[in-house]
A and B are shown apart, each in its own frame.
Chain A
Amino acid sequence: MRSRFVRVLTVLLTLTIALSGCAGRKAGDSSKIVVGIPQDLEDSLDPHKAVAAGTREVLFNVFEGLLKPDENGELIPAVAESYTVSDDGLTYTFTIRNGIKFHNGNRVTAEDVKYSIEKSAGMTGEESLIAAFSNIKEVSIVDKSTVAIILKERDVDFPAYLSAVSASIIPADNAMPDTTAIGTGPYKYVSRSPQENIVMTRFDSYWGEPAHIRDVEFKVEANSDAMLLALKGGTIDMCARLTTTQASQLTSNFVIHEGSMNLVQALYLNHASKPFDDIRVRQALCYAADKQEIIDIAFEGKGSPLGSSMFPAFGKYYIPELTDYYTPDISRARELLAEAGYPDGFDMTITVPSNYQPHVDTAQVLVEEFKKIGINASIQQVEWNTWLSDVYTNRKYEATVIGVDATQMTANAMLSRFYSKAEDNFTNYSNEEYDRLFEEAQATTDDEKRTELFKKMETLLAEDAANVYIQDMAEMVPISKNIEGYVFYPLYVQDIAKLYYTEDK
């Protein structure tokens, strides 16, 4: 009797769990799109506190800076209609777009802009996410619709920093920016359930071309496998960054858009840890690592091999020739190791964040490749937060596989971290020549000369075998086949406003 009761209860429970997954979704509801995201947003919805790229890519739809990036990485005016730079390059004067409104219906005023820039620059006591903003001397209101930003030193890249999500314009009278997200973007924030979703709806008084789809729900999925099941089950319409193998498991109901992730995936080496302070050891690793083999084995052959800390989307800064600076050469690698005093190889640990399967997979292939030159590498998987604190912040590691992306489209975003005094120099890279070039580039305003300097820095990183550069990973974006208009950005954003449903369904 009792066992039957238990059995019935089990069946009922299972059904409830199974069925609840299908609830709340009307078939063919063309005014709504559900986007799967692989992690929840950070606790705060304040764009000035958005550390994680995963948070920024969602908030991109709600917030805008004075300027914003377009799909080519060029800066386009957003909250500001136009701006002028003084001759000495220190004063930037912005004219606020005529009639632009916040999601709460209020006009964007010069006070709001002053408040937002000062807040995001850390001038109001909060921590700033944009290091370059420490260069701001003063934000002054010229008149009702004009704001001037005065810098301490000249910085050619300054407008690019203003386009970051972390430099968004928010209303000055919003007492709780952490929970009430009010911006000027094409979508306005509706509600949020932690670990579940964040809901947005179209902002009808948007200054630019309004969004096509009315409602957007960003749904949090536990991991990419859950994402795949949700796509197959039809509970989400699209998601970004599936792996190639996962994408190949989707049926014809989806169109798979193929782009690149715009990051530099590499085996980053801690130069403060022996034996990676020896250039011969680093070069041996570079000769032993076969980029194409990694891409073939772990990424279905999709991905662009890289040779330095710069990816193709950067256009004029990117040097394609560096990719082949080190071609796989086992005997050369062995020679170099012997010269460095390690004829029998050595033991090393590769620390990888366990939530990024592609990096774990890459590490596994690397372990096999290093075995060929006698290096006994072992993998240590750590949680993402542990990775951030141990590897990125405290720099207690030997080597790690990770992808480094750019927060703005400036060459500095990819190259400044190798400056020996940079706070985010997590590889402890230190090279006098590099520092000299970097300082010179910061002081140069002539674009051509600057580009030349940045290219020299890239080449130096390759020659010095700073890290084992691997690839710019391919990005697979599956979208329901009746939705079109997806655009890839060279930055880490998902622009939902450009998506639309096609007529025939």
Chain B
Amino acid sequence: MNNKFRNNRKLYIGALITGMMLFLSVIGLLFTPYDPNEMDSSAKLAGISLSHIMGCDNFGRDVFSRILAGLGTTMTVAVGTVFIGIVLGTVVGAYTGYYGGRLDEILMRFNDAVLAFPALLLALVLISVMGPGKYNIMVALGILFAPGYARIIRGEFLRCKNLDYVQSARLMGASDMRIMFVHILPNTFNVMLSTIAIGFNNAVLAEAGMSFLGIGVQPPDSSLGRMLAEAQSYLFLRPGYAVCTGITIVLLIIGFSMLSEGLENNA
């Protein structure tokens, strides 16, 4: 009983934080107190005040406006990455899990090969070929996330394909496509949900990491990782800049983590 309650609490807090972040990022798309890229030499590294509630950065740009805009960028990249990853992963996972055979062997060994490399390193290689930029990192990260999803989906398909309801659907003459995507796929939903939440988390971190390294979102556009990279030069002068940005990333990650843990335990 106690255990159950704890799980639920995680789910609620996670949903609350994530909801708040989503809300802020939507607001950031529509409205920011200042133009996030507007520079003001008189407000360089200004401290926290009523007009700039999180202060200003080294160009005199309002940190709060930039966090709002950056949150949107980071979320967009995360959603895009997970979407590309899930679509690719589902197609590969469903096919290999359902049919098996030689193609399954080949695709899964290829999968293992991709998984054997650290994702961020592979992403760096892809970026160096495709060039930096918001959409390129979405594609690069999406491709790299796909093998992980493919494995999970494949496992689910393997488990389900011999269950009674699938057998009966087959006897009723349903096509393979229909069985795969109408009958089995919805049953993998629970597993997928928590995978997506974890994937979201990893995507946020990966975007932040890549922008931090200067190959993700390009200046002057803001993203949480870029801002953190810029803030580190002024760590001693204006710790608030790095702290505000860092806390936003932490909240975003904690929110998703709790949400996914809650979902997993509830499932």
Question: What residues make up the interface of A, taking CB atoms closer than 8 Å to B?
Answer: 224-225, 228, 232, 243, 245-246, 248-249, 293, 296-298, 354, 357, 360-361, 363-365, 367-368, 378-383, 386
Contacts and interface: CB of A to CB of B under 8 A. Distances in A.
B59 to A, nearest CB: 6
A380 B237 CA distance: 28
Given A365-B39, A380-B131, A249 B219 contact: no
Given A297-B41, A378-B218, A381-B215, A246 B60 contact: no
B58 interface: yes
Contact of A246 (B41, B59, B132, B233): B233
A363 B39 contact: no
Interface string B136-163: 0000000000000000000000000000
B220 A379 contact: yes
Interface string B233-265: 111110000000000000000000000000000
B219 A381 contact: yes
A248 B233 CA distance: 11
A60 B237 CA distance: 35
8 contacts: A225-B233, A293-B41, A297-B60, A365-B39, A367-B37, A379-B219, A383-B128, A386-B128
Contact of B218 (A248, A379, A386): A379
Nearest to B237: A249
Contact of A368 (B38, B58, B233, B234): B38
A16 B56 CA distance: 37
Contacts of A232: 236
Given A245-B58, A246-B233, A249-B234, 9 more contacts: A225-B235, A243-B233, A245-B45, A297-B39, A298-B58, A365-B59, A368-B38, A381-B218, A383-B128
A293 B132 CA distance: 28
B168 interface: no
Interface of B: 37-39, 41, 44-45, 58-60, 128, 131-133, 214-215, 218-220, 232-237
Contacts of B214: 354, 381
B41 A364 contact: no
Nearest to A360: B219
Contact of A364 (B59, B233, B234, B237): B59
Contact of A245 (B38, B128, B131, B233): B233
B59 A298 contact: yes
A297 B45 CA distance: 10
Nearest to A298: B59
Contacts of A365: 39, 59
A368 to B, nearest CB: 5
A451 B97 CA distance: 79
Contacts of B220: 364, 367-368, 379
B125 to A, nearest CB: 13
Given A364-B220, A381-B218, A297 B132 contact: no
Nearest to A248: B237
Contacts of B233: 224-225, 228, 243, 245-246, 357
A382 B215 CA distance: 8
A366 to B, nearest CB: 10
Contacts of B44: 297
Contacts of A245: 45, 58, 233-234, 237
Given A297-B60, A364-B59, A381 B41 contact: no
Contacts of B215: 354, 381
B236 A249 contact: yes
Contacts of B237: 245, 248-249
Contact of B41 (A224, A296, A382, A386): A296
B150 to A, nearest CB: 31
A262 B133 CA distance: 33
A364 B236 contact: no
Contacts of A354: 214-215
- Per CB-CB distance, the 7 closest pairs between chain A and chain B, nearest first, are A354-B214, A364-B220, A249-B236, A296-B41, A297-B41, A381-B214, A379-B218
Contacts of B232: 225
B59 A380 contact: no
Contacts of A246: 233
A380 B37 contact: no
Given A245-B237, A297-B59, A380-B131, A364 B219 contact: yes
A58 to B, nearest CB: 25
A232 B41 CA distance: 28
Contacts of B45: 245
A324 B232 CA distance: 36
Contacts of B236: 228, 232, 249
Contacts of B38: 368
A367 B218 CA distance: 12
Nearest to B37: A368
B46 to A, nearest CB: 13
Contacts of B218: 378-381
Nearest to B215: A381
A349 to B, nearest CB: 10
B106 to A, nearest CB: 35
